[in-house]
Chains A and B, each alone.
Chain A
Amino acid sequence: MKFSYDWLADFVDLSGITPVELAEKLTYHAFEVEEVSTYGAKIVGPITAGKIISIEPHPNADKIRLTRVLINDTDTYDIVCGASNIEVDQIVPVALPGSIVINRHDNSPLPIKKSKIRGADSNGMLCSASELGISTDNSNNGGIYILKDSNIKLGTDLIDLLNLKQDYILHIEPRSNRPDVLSHYGMAREIAAIFNLPLKEPKTNINEFSQFQEAFIDLDINIENKEDCPFFSLCGIKNLTDINTPSLIRHRLEAIGVRSINFIVDITNYVLHEMGQPMHAYDYDKLDNSRAFLVRRACNEETITTIDNRLRKLNSTNLVIANNQKAIGVAGIMGGIESEISNSTQNVILESACFDARSVRQSSRSLGLSSDSSLRFERGVIKHMTLNSLNRALYLILNYSIASNPNIKYSKVFQTGDLNEQTNRVSLSFKDLDNTLGVSIDTATVESILNKLGFSVIDKNQFEISVQIPLHRLKDIGESIDLVEEIARLYGYNNIPLEPLETIDHIPHNQNISDKVKENMVGFGFNEIWTSSLIPKKRSRNTDIQVLNPVSQDHEYLRSSLIPGLIQAFEYNLARQHKDIFLFENAYVYKHDSSITSTTLDLKSTGVSQILSLAALCFGSNERQNWLNLSQETTELSFFRLKGILENILVNLNINLNLISWDSCDNEYLHPTRQASIIYNDPSRKIKLGHIGEIHPKLAIDYNTKQRLSLFEIDLDAVQGLIFKDSFKSIANTPFVNRDITIDCDTIISHQSIKWAIISQNYDKLTNLELVGLYRPSDNIKSLTYRLSFQDTSKTLLAQEIDEIIEKIRLNLIEKFNVSFRGL
């Protein structure tokens, strides 16, 4: 929101306070001022109103003329002018030598001095609107700014009259709990408290104009539901003439970004930004002259065309103002176009009302329409300002009209509803205040701060103070902590001293599984990625949780796997010429227990489990391109390289690999014969940890490359539950013996089944078993070489003892798998 420094100064004396100082104090005691900008160029006088008394052709030029201008009773100036819209007797702005206006070609400062133009003396300049930094008036586009008000006295200083002063705009985003500062008057009240200055009230005394009051109209107001609209007031004005919006009003509105429309509409907007009270004006002649106004909920199928010229379908959430059965405005949001004020409007009904915040919010949402007006009603207008604001609007209209329009009349105010509000008192204990802030603030300071903010002290003793809440703070003040905040911010957050925390009595153990896993993955040459947990439908599974109001279709489902994100990141990088891509992500995935329905769910539960997952993708090699040509890619390398890394991760997490099995699996995006599910088996349980595989060849076609892509994903929460910290085992000094055995078997028999067949027998001298060789003598036979390690911790093993174990192994394997042993 924009606030005009000049406007604020109407209500609080800002002399001696620069806009920057004001912004700084506001920022540290109330609301952040995001920016201070200037509005309007720096115009320097003397610029006066002058009357053109003659226009002669220039002897040496066609397009410029010689004018003589009278600037007071006696003094005339000869000025050369190039504009074509001037005529004798017009009153125009005259920049005299020494003044500075704006160069309309490049907006730079243009100093005015006596000069000769093509041989003719020119002692100043007649100015256009843009040369004075005011927005171009539609009537004299590009020409000299003709002052319409014929009553202007010659020689009048136009800097003040046209409000040509440079203004400063404070950009402030008031907080949602402070509807009382959504206006210049409200903000000035805050400034007055901070600087300890008196607050000046806006002029609302219409009794000054009592001779213009007349009972020319009788209005009838009905409110269907007092909760939707606690207060509603109207006032009629007749015999308006088309007058220009006074430049002060227009200038200030434009300075804060509000477009000037016409006198009446500008006044209603001005009052909104000055008092914080939204106003509306109806062209009474367009209302079928019906005197009955009804505030009611819209009927279904009812429509209205709002002043933005859009037809809107209404429903029962929309509160409307109806006249003669017909909706003429959406309450608190926008008026209807039929009764819109125009330049030719003569008779007006002004409305100032108090609409319920929730009702306006719902109405605004259902129409998808918000306005300066609805924004204020939604936050809650200050009820007692309603009538004040109506009077203020009336005051301004009369004040600016009567000089040129002695026939103007206004009616009395017609109102329905109650403006009285219950005020509350609130108490604050001085001890609580000091404890909360960590500083002792003396009671006199406390009292003075509360007074400045408009709280009146009802009662006080050495322990506590009781105050009455001012009417404009009923929305955000209700309990003692609210007073603590008010006192703290006026005292100054930055004046509260630092206080060390007491000695740390608890050392957290923060090493978590993620830190460890990430360290490992990075160590293995993987790059960590963070992907969006919201994914598009095409990458989701049909059990994934759907977001009802997604920001886009790319973010519609909550992922149940990290794989889609990995693949997306892979594709992104592949398209950017990366040849070897090693990625991992360690993040949450989300699974909804579909047995829990929304009806069985209590309001504190979601039925969703959040699982910490680790997924990795490898494509190509993680070795650097080397000049020794060491690496040899086979198609299987990708899978086994990734599997090796996963095994290392599990070992580093203290998972016993001998309890992990790599079983068949049917993930549809993985290669059907190159994928495995990773299962943890111990005698008591079987837990699926995840899966690993090469990407399905049909998906890999898109990648247009011969390199293989492998992926795994594991459930780290499940893994964490299996971590077993072994205690130290003493080291045996007896020698160990390695024996290699080579087995020929059918290719369908897996390494895993052979390995398990051996280790499940628990031969106590067999300490390790490792596959050291594999080759395929023919298509359906494979030959596996295992290195068996034997050790007896108490003595040196005899060859005979080892032979006996190997013989048992041989018989066992022959029986189970019909293998043959080479060399035995």
Chain B
Amino acid sequence: MTDQEISTQLQSIKKEALTALSHCDTLDLLENWKQAYLSRKSKFNDILKNLGKIGDVDTKKTIGELANTIKDELLKTFDEACTTLNAKFLNEQIQKEAIDVSLPGISYKPGHYHPLSQICQNIAQIFSSLGFEQVFGPEVETNYYNFDALNIDADHPARDEQDTFYTSIAPHVLLRSQTSTVQIRSMEKTRPPLKIISIGRVYRNEEINARKYPIFHQVEGLYVNSKVSFGQLKWTLQKFINAFFERDLKIRLRPDFFPFTEPSAEVDCECPFCDTKGCKTCGHKGWLEILGCGMVHPNVLKNVGENYQGYSGFAFGMGVERLAMIKYGIYDIRYFYNNDLRFIGQF
């Protein structure tokens, strides 16, 4: 064959290939086309194989270049065809798979924390940031920790007022009526300085109504160091109240009496719901009664032994249910213990 013939043949193969390629509308056909025109067994390759037999170097070069150009062009066109076809198929798939994105998501029903848990965690977090370590104490207690060590002597009316539950175990074994028991237990275990809070369950023999339940929860705080003052107590409680209600609120203190603190005080804060104008939450008083507190009574420090001689401290206690009722506007304490999912689901 002459150069001319060979080049004509190449051109005709090219033309044939391009025509064939334009008819390939599946990926399989494209693959077949590639086998037919560009593989080792293709006509095109057959021609190139024979190239070696051409003696004339120039001719060989010219034909070679031509063949490569055609091959490149075919490959390029093939790649383009592949891309186009893939794009087409992808587009078809996408159109076919259209969904109604407004249908509801498939999901699990979310669980909910009990509101008291959230309040407890919140309180623990705030005091943790003030350096108070969380500790726990037993609910089944003794007369000693619940009363005697807390400077509440056997004849003290507080023992009547609190109407404590006693157990079948022994005459001195009772259900604690206050978390202040943890003060004594912590001081017995740890040398000063001591900075703790304890959140836990307490029991009082009271008829159930919207405000009272025989079990409820208290937060107890205690700070003992070499020189602790009433001013520091006020500062700590001010910081807590601001953090708990997430805004700056004025506090005011009123004298009160607890056998284990002296001086003792009851702390009110401005009602965050009405700016002291008076509303349902604060009973139209403009102020909310939040907690009881005071300076640790010297007799309490004496009762825990010589490690605490020469130290002073402050203590405070508050009701978890009460705080939750204020924060969430819950008006009946029994909601906390009915465990109605319509209630828990709101928190």
User: Measuring CB to CB, which residues of chain A are less than 8 angstroms from any residue of chain B?
Assistant: 27-32, 175-178, 357-358, 361, 378-379, 435-439, 479, 481-482, 484-485, 488-489, 493-494, 496-502, 504-508, 510, 512, 515, 518, 521-534, 545-552, 555, 558, 569, 572-573, 576, 578, 580-584, 587-588, 590, 592, 598, 601, 603-608, 610, 622-624, 626-628, 630
Contacts and interface: CB of A to CB of B under 8 A. Distances in A.
B166 interface: yes
A547 B166 contact: yes
Contacts of A603: 142-144, 172
Contact of A604 (B144, B165, B205, B252): B144
A561 to B, nearest CB: 16
Given A507-B131, A569-B339, A624 B255 contact: no
Contact of A175 (B108, B112, B257): B257
A522 B112 contact: yes
A590 B130 contact: no
B109 interface: yes
Contacts of B344: 527-529
B229 A549 contact: no
Given A436-B263, A493-B255, A528-B344, 8 more contacts: A175-B257, A481-B298, A496-B231, A529-B114, A534-B214, A551-B214, A576-B340, A608-B173
A607 B142 CA distance: 10
B167 A547 contact: yes
B253 A493 contact: yes
Contacts of A610: 138-140
A541 to B, nearest CB: 14
A127 to B, nearest CB: 35
Interface stretch (B58-66, B81-89, B232-240): B232-240
A485 B139 contact: no
B42 interface: no
B235 A501 contact: yes
Interface stretch (B18-26, B46-54, B70-78, B154-162): B154-162
Nearest to B295: A436
Given A506-B195, A627-B103, A177 B257 contact: yes
B264 to A, nearest CB: 7
A573 B340 contact: yes
Contact of A493 (B140, B167, B254): B254
Contacts of A522: 110-113
Given A499-B232, A510-B124, A590-B139, A27 B254 contact: yes
Given A533-B201, A578-B341, A436 B167 contact: no
Most chain A CB atoms below 10 A, which of B140, B169, B208: B169
Contacts of B158: 176
Contact of A545 (B140, B257, B263): B140
Given A436-B229, A498-B235, A533-B139, A528 B117 contact: yes
A239 B255 CA distance: 50
B207 A551 contact: yes
Given A176-B158, A606-B142, A506 B262 contact: no
B16 to A, nearest CB: 47
Nearest to B256: A175
Contact of B236 (A32, A435, A501, A525): A501
13 contacts: A30-B255, A178-B257, A510-B125, A530-B116, A545-B140, A588-B201, A590-B140, A603-B142, A606-B141, A608-B173, A610-B139, A624-B106, A626-B106
B27 interface: no
A512 B121 CA distance: 11
B132 A508 contact: yes
Nearest to A176: B157
B297 interface: yes
A497 B231 CA distance: 6
Contacts of B144: 603-604
Contacts of A437: 229-231, 263
B169 A607 contact: yes
Secondary structure dominating the interface of B: mixed
Contact of B134 (A482, A484, A510): A510
A617 to B, nearest CB: 11
Nearest to B195: A506
A357 B255 contact: no
A529 B205 CA distance: 23
A502 B337 CA distance: 40
Given A30-B255, A484-B262, A510-B128, A515 B121 contact: yes
Nearest to A597: B170
B206 A551 contact: yes
Nearest to B107: A624
A505 B340 CA distance: 43
A530 B265 CA distance: 31
A533 B215 contact: yes
A530 B339 contact: yes
Top 4 closest A-B pairs, CB basis?
A: A438-B231, A438-B229, A499-B231, A598-B170
B338 A572 contact: yes
A231 B235 CA distance: 49
A703 to B, nearest CB: 16
A506 B129 CA distance: 10
A481 B195 contact: no
B168 A546 contact: yes
Contacts of A439: 230-231
B341 A581 contact: yes
A528 B111 contact: yes
Contact of B128 (A484, A508, A587): A508
B208 A494 contact: no
Contacts of A558: 140, 167, 175
B216 to A, nearest CB: 10
B213 to A, nearest CB: 8
A479 B341 CA distance: 54
A528 B224 CA distance: 35
A531 B205 CA distance: 17
B312 interface: yes
A358 B254 CA distance: 30
Nearest to A547: B165
B26 to A, nearest CB: 33
Contacts of B130: 501, 504
Nearest to B208: A551
B254 A378 contact: no
A569 B338 CA distance: 7
A435 B228 CA distance: 7
B203 interface: yes
A623 B106 CA distance: 8
B266 interface: yes
A32 B215 CA distance: 26
From B117, B132, B238, B255, name the one whose CB has the most chain A CB atoms within 10 angstroms: B255
B136 to A, nearest CB: 9
B345 interface: yes
A525 B111 contact: yes
In this complex, the member of B114, B338, B339 whose beta carbon has the largest number of chain A beta carbons within 10 angstroms is: B339
B128 A531 contact: no
A31 B157 contact: no
A818 B253 CA distance: 79
A604 B121 contact: no
B155 A358 contact: yes
A605 B262 contact: no
A605 B117 contact: no
B167 A548 contact: yes
B175 A547 contact: yes
Nearest to B230: A437
Given A437-B231, A546-B167, A627-B103, A551 B205 contact: yes
Nearest to B264: A485
Given A533-B201, A555-B214, A494 B252 contact: yes
A358 B160 CA distance: 12
Contacts of B256: 32, 175
B336 interface: yes
Contacts of B215: 532-534
B108 A525 contact: yes
Interface centre among B103, B167, B171, B298 (most CB of A within 10 A): B167
A561 B83 CA distance: 68
A494 B170 CA distance: 45
